[in-house]
Structure 1
């Protein structure tokens, strides 16, 4: 199976007399007043930028499965450019689709408390981890290319896109595999960790960066979290991370 590890959610209304354990991704990512999934629409809270949406090639089937670029309102399919015509609190941008399609049973409105499981690691990521690691050991190796191409072959859905990767140098392969992770694992809580471990923050959070300008981003501080103060107080040999 594709998921190797997953967070298992159940369609249960209340746990411990509260919303503990309730899945909130469907309403947070869903389109307000949208009728297509019989959920009552979402909240249009976590909505990608158009810049991110536009980085996907239209031929890439992963774009289709990652985004909802249309909604259904009053029984009619409408493009994202008019979402606010049907709810002023919506957002006129494509929404994340991964947590609303094939949602299964739900216990609360807007898709809350669904049975959608969150994959914390799936097989495609294992292949991309292997490709990235092999490239660092043996730059541009054929085996590393093959791992990426196995992921791409799975993503084609009967088309000829994306094409196989071939003949890349170590540096070009490194850039390519990080981009492949961004596309393949979109909205699966992986991107920040790639940015942090590769120290790409200055690039992606700059004025022309894909992730949007983060004026307060500090590369000398923000790749690491602060060590809890109580741990620092208990251990005189433990120093706090820079900037905290």
Structure 2
């Protein structure tokens, strides 16, 4: 196992029940029981054979997970890089991720909580109306590697097309594409058989295209206004 982690760590922690989590630390055989509403921000830590339950992060840059188990929620509130207009590539290596929220410029102060970040997501409209520098340039097709994802929030991202890789994430239950520039969705959206909620508010989608999207996903709740 140690060959997988070639970094030098400030701490090595083995076989403990953890109430906190830190950067630049090697954790082995640990069980994490952390505050469910708190959003942890760490980097350059490695986890081997660890267990997590209902865990949320806002940064995992440089972190590695080997043979870890996640019970219920494994969420990431990723801060998109405004200068490159993209999501950091490490995100696509988090194969066990169940929830992904893209946030471009959070207003709430650190330390983050799920409640505060979700309020930020709801109130970004005024900020993004004229801020083209914070639009995502694209989302790579390898987003499909997140095969356990249930919730995906790409609102306020300036998307003009839906990456087809998203339609290959069969586990998706909630997809938020509100406040983008989408005029339609590809027919392959119908592959998302488990999708129960689709948010498309404030997109320039015409009436006929709305009817088409509804025919693709007849059992899915949708919001267009």
TM, length-normalised to structure 2: 0.26
Q: Which has the higher strand share?
A: 2
Which of structures 1 and 2 has the larger relative contact order (alpha carbons within 8 angstroms, sep 6+)? 1
TM-score normalized by structure 1? Answer: 0.24
Larger radius of gyration: 1
